[in-house]
Amino acid sequence: MANLSSDFIGIKSPNPFWLASAPPTDKAYNVERAYEAGWGGVVWKTLGSEGPPVVNVSGPRYGAIWGADRRLLGLNNIELITDRPLQVNLDEIKMVKRKWRDRALVISLMVPCDEESWKDILHRIEDTEADGVELNFGCPHGMAERGMGSAVGQVPEYIEMVTRWVKKHSRMPCIVKLTPNISDIRKPAEAAHRGGADAVSLINTINSITSVDLDLFAPQPTIDGKGTHGGYCGPAVKPIALNMVAEIARNPLTRGLPISGIGGVTTWRDAAEFLALGAGNVQVCTAAMTYGFKVVQEMISGLSEYLDDKGIALSDLVGRATPNVTDWQFLNLNYVTKAQINQDDCIKCGRCYAACEDTSHQAIAMSPDRTFTVKDEECVACNLCVNVCPVDNCITMVEMPKGATDPRTGRQVGDYANWTTHPNNPSVAAE
Ligand SMILES: Cc1cc2nc3c(=O)[nH]c(=O)nc-3n(C[C@H](O)[C@H](O)[C@H](O)COP(=O)(O)O)c2cc1C
Ligand code: SF4
Ligand code: SF4
């Protein structure tokens, strides 16, 4: 079995799977059971300042999107940070850390945006012996209206300023958790880097309304006839999170800044994808909330087997795909593929035909006995048929060899050439 031990900014854990700050990490009872199930670390549910505890709604706080088999694809929540007294959390954190020395325990924090509040909370958490802090600049609802969470995370100058305060008043490793509710994720990451952050983690939840009750005429979840936007997470947000991780990993201004990848991680494969794009570890929330703590066991065995099969170490996987993320203009325009239908697997449903005929390039022929074949002279290789076909691998994209003639364009498949040198590019013609 491959060695999955992880060292993320000096914080050691037996594997790179941490639970993200959320209900699964809200209290000692949960965290200890999570460790027993095998989680390498946790980020404790966000703590706030001393004072009257936060008040959550007492009606439904979740909305969801499901697939056709009612598998949960996206989860929306209007929960706030911890609603338990600060000292209760601190006592539990200290007790848990003493019992579970080999596991990572990071404390998530969100306090008002002034230096005294940050200094105060950092001193309060010092003797818990926790491994680090994560600054929650992401929560999109409830706390943002009070000048915290994403209200800070959307202003790079604030991120830099608060990160500096944290580094000034604490020796703990500091992870800055970023909100995706921003147009260019590189800016807050750069600000965190400038402020001295040891790492960034992303993504927190995405502003969303998952559905509207068409009898009550109000967003769901509905609290006494009204609803509000919540934070979206789960498998549906993974593509957004992967892109944001890659953007930070390949940005020259943040290259090398450790990243904790979060957003829709449900299986070992999801985790491996985040790692390949540059994340040093991953954090998980919705998958644990949907399937329970034991989901980590599939993640551990799956990643371990994958690394063994590839004959690589965990550290070799981190960032392995980052150099292959590029801008569109550098894609090879001389790379040509054609769709090919495997007639033995085809169930003759006709979905590929409908999709290509109505919305792509009329490149699939249907015979009277419902045999579907690709017309190479029309196929632009868009891949739509592959994505709508209900049979896995029934349609594949086959690469044309160099030197062959593409029957659609009449041109020979040539060497690598991209848009920057293409004759149709007006800026090339102008030179
Ligand atoms: C109910 C709920 C409460 C959450 N509370 C917090 C929180 O207190 N602090 C925080 O940083 N993130 C919080 N999150 C966000 C998660 O930590 C995580 O960033 C997000 O859910 C994306 O990961 P996932 O797709 O694995 O769920 C919460 C998420 C959910 C679903
Ligand atoms: S790849 Fe696109 S153009 Fe080619 S057959 Fe499939 S849907 Fe049609
Ligand atoms: S969508 Fe797939 S299974 Fe259906 S007709 Fe096309 S190739 Fe066959």
| pLDDT confidence of residue 318 | 98
C-alpha dihedral sign at 355, 360, 365, 368? positive
Q: What is the per-residue pLDDT across 351-400, written as a single tens digit (0 to 9) for each?
A: 999 999 999 999 999 999 999 999 999 999 999 999 999 999 999 999 99
For residue 379, the CA-to-ligand 2 centroid distance in Å is 5
12 pLDDT higher than 90: yes
For residue 91, the CA-to-ligand 1 centroid distance in Å is 23
Residue nearest atom 6 of ligand 2, based on CA coordinates: 385
Contacts of 428 (CB under 8 A, 6+ apart): 420, 421, 422
Identify whether the C-beta of residue 191 lies closer than 8 Å to the C-beta of residue 150: no
Pocket residues for ligand 1 (CB within 6 Å)?
A: 20-23, 45-46, 75, 77, 79, 81, 108, 136, 138-139, 177, 204-205, 233-234, 237, 262-265, 284-287
Q: What is the per-residue pLDDT across 161-211, written as a single tens digit (0 to 9) for each?
A: 999 999 999 999 999 999 999 999 999 999 999 999 999 999 999 999 999
Going by pLDDT thresholds of 50, 70 and 90, the confidence category of residue 142 is: low
Output the CA–CA distances (angstroms, integers) from residue 349 to 82, 363, 375, 394, in the order listed: 51, 16, 18, 12
Q: Of the bound ligands, which one is closest to the alpha carbon of residue 357?
A: 2
**Tokens, residue 416:** 């690598």
C-alpha dihedral sign at 210, 294, 4, 99? positive
Going by pLDDT thresholds of 50, 70 and 90, the confidence category of residue 1 is: confident
Mean pLDDT of 136-142: 75
Top mutation candidate among 341, 367, 386, 388 for ligand 3, by most atoms within 8 Å of CB: 341
Using a 6 Å cutoff on CB, does residue 370 contact ligand 3?
Answer: no
C-alpha dihedral sign at 248, 251, 254, 257? positive
For residue 367, the CA-to-ligand 2 centroid distance in Å is 17
429 pLDDT higher than 80: no
The percent of residues in the chain predicted with pLDDT above 90, rounded, is 90
Q: Worst-scoring range by mean pLDDT, 11-20, 118-127, 134-143, 386-395?
A: 134-143
For domain 328-419, give the CATH number.
3.30.70.20
3-state SS assignment for residue 370: coil
155 pLDDT higher than 60: yes
Going by pLDDT thresholds of 50, 70 and 90, the confidence category of residue 405 is: very high
Q: Of the bound ligands, which one is closest to the alpha carbon of residue 206?
A: 1
Going by pLDDT thresholds of 50, 70 and 90, the confidence category of residue 332 is: very high
Alpha-carbon distance of 148 to 113, in angstroms, equals: 7
CATH number of the domain at 6-324, out of 3.90.700.10, 3.20.20.70, 1.10.10.410, 3.40.30.10? 3.20.20.70
Alpha-carbon distance of 348 to 366, in angstroms, equals: 10
* Model pTM score: 0.96
Going by pLDDT thresholds of 50, 70 and 90, the confidence category of residue 153 is: confident
Alpha-carbon distance of 425 to 161, in angstroms, equals: 43
- Choosing from 113, 139, 356, 394, the catalytic residue is 139
Q: Of the bound ligands, which one is closest to the alpha carbon of residue 353?
A: 3
| pLDDT confidence of residue 50 | 86
Contacts of 81 (CB under 8 A, 6+ apart): 45, 46, 47, 48, 54, 108, 110, 136, 139, 143
147 pLDDT higher than 80: no
Higher-pLDDT residue of 120, 146? 120
Top mutation candidate among 343, 345, 346 for ligand 3, by most atoms within 8 Å of CB: 346
For residue 425, the CA-to-ligand 2 centroid distance in Å is 25
C-alpha dihedral sign at 23, 136, 193, 190? positive
- What does the longest C-alpha to C-alpha distance in the chain come to? 77
Q: Is 61 exposed, middle or buried (0-12, 13-18, 19+ CB in 10 A)?
A: middle
| pLDDT confidence of residue 51 | 84
Q: What is the per-residue pLDDT across 255-280, written as a single tens digit (0 to 9) for each?
A: 999 999 999 999 999 999 999 999 99
User: Which amino acid, residue 244?
Assistant: M
For the chain, the domains span 6-324, 328-419
Alpha-carbon distance of 22 to 231, in angstroms, equals: 12
Establish whether 139 is a catalytic residue. Answer: yes
Using a 6 Å cutoff on CB, does residue 385 contact ligand 2?
Answer: yes
Question: What are phi and psi for residue 133, nearest 5 degrees?
Answer: -125, 150
Q: What is the per-residue pLDDT across 79-114, written as a single tens digit (0 to 9) for each?
A: 999 989 999 999 999 999 999 999 999 999 999 989
| Nearest ligand 3 atom to alpha carbon 364 | 6
Q: Is 54 exposed, middle or buried (0-12, 13-18, 19+ CB in 10 A)?
A: middle
Residue from 83, 71, 61, 319 nearest 205 by CA = 61
